[in-house]
Amino acid sequence: MARSARGVETRLKIIQAAADLFHRQGVNATSPDEIIEASGTGKGQFYHYFKSKERLVHEVLQVYAEAIRSGAAPVEYDIRSWEDLERWFSAQVALQRRFGMTRGCPFGTIAGEVTEKDELIRQDLNLIFELVGNQIAAFFIREKAAGRMVEGVDERRLAEFCMAVAQGAMLVGKVKRDAALVEVSFREALAHLKAYAVKRRSPRGGGAPRGR
């Protein structure tokens, strides 16, 4: 039992070290030896748990996906209001600021290196974007059902727009080392999204609401 617990801990150390290195410098620039050194594990342990680098990338992405599902991710994805959506955008740039604008989105960084040969990784990333997109779309669906968004709006397209803006702005922000650029992009995105919201008018003259 103790050996199994140590094994779980060792495996997690490798995944965490790999995730940080992939986020910092990308998958292709990260060697198994760097991961072994950063995790404080041995080469035998590394290859015991991960038969290939692709398999390790897969495991890292699975950890990201589970964190989003469980609410353990550093960014809050449970969006219930426009304020929550604004906080979601703000959390992206806050994450970048933590690293001095030298990094982009953790899984977006991996996505930037995907080739046609990386089908498993592409599927993992697609799952993550589906999870995020579903959370954002659910907010727009609730707003539309409550009559607070214009008829005919495509909730899924709005969610995909949010993700595309976040990924693109973070990439450019990383290149330019400019948090203000990312923040402006997010403000413009929110202004565009709020144009789909129905403006509620207050009744004038204190009269009874229509229909009563």
What tens digit of pLDDT does each residue of 133-172 get?
999 999 999 999 999 999 899 999 999 999 999 999 999 9
Dist CA 12 CA 105 (whole Å): 21
In a domain, 66, yes or no: no
Max CA separation in the chain (angstroms): 79
| Closest to 132 in 3D by CA, of 97, 109, 108 | 108
What tens digit of pLDDT does each residue of 32-42 get?
999 999 999 99
| Residue 73 Ramachandran class (φ > 0 left, ψ -120 to 50 alpha, else beta) | beta
Report the pLDDT value the prediction gives residue 5, as an integer from 0 to 100.
81
In a domain, 48, yes or no: no
Listed as ranges, residues in the chain with pLDDT below 50 are 1-2, 205-212
In a domain, 64, yes or no: no
Q: What is the pTM of this model?
A: 0.86
In a domain, 99, yes or no: yes
DSSP code, position 177? T
In a domain, 16, yes or no: no
If one counts the domains in the chain, the total is: 1
In a domain, 83, yes or no: yes
In a domain, 201, yes or no: no
Based on C-alpha coordinates, what's the Rg of the chain?
Answer: 21
Report the pLDDT value the prediction gives residue 17, as an integer from 0 to 100.
97
In a domain, 23, yes or no: no
| Closest to 104 in 3D by CA, of 193, 49, 181 | 181
Range of the domain at 117: 75-194
Nearest-5° Cα angle at 124, 83 to 47? 125
**91: exposed, middle or buried (C-beta count within 10 Å: 0-12, 13-18, 19+)?**
middle
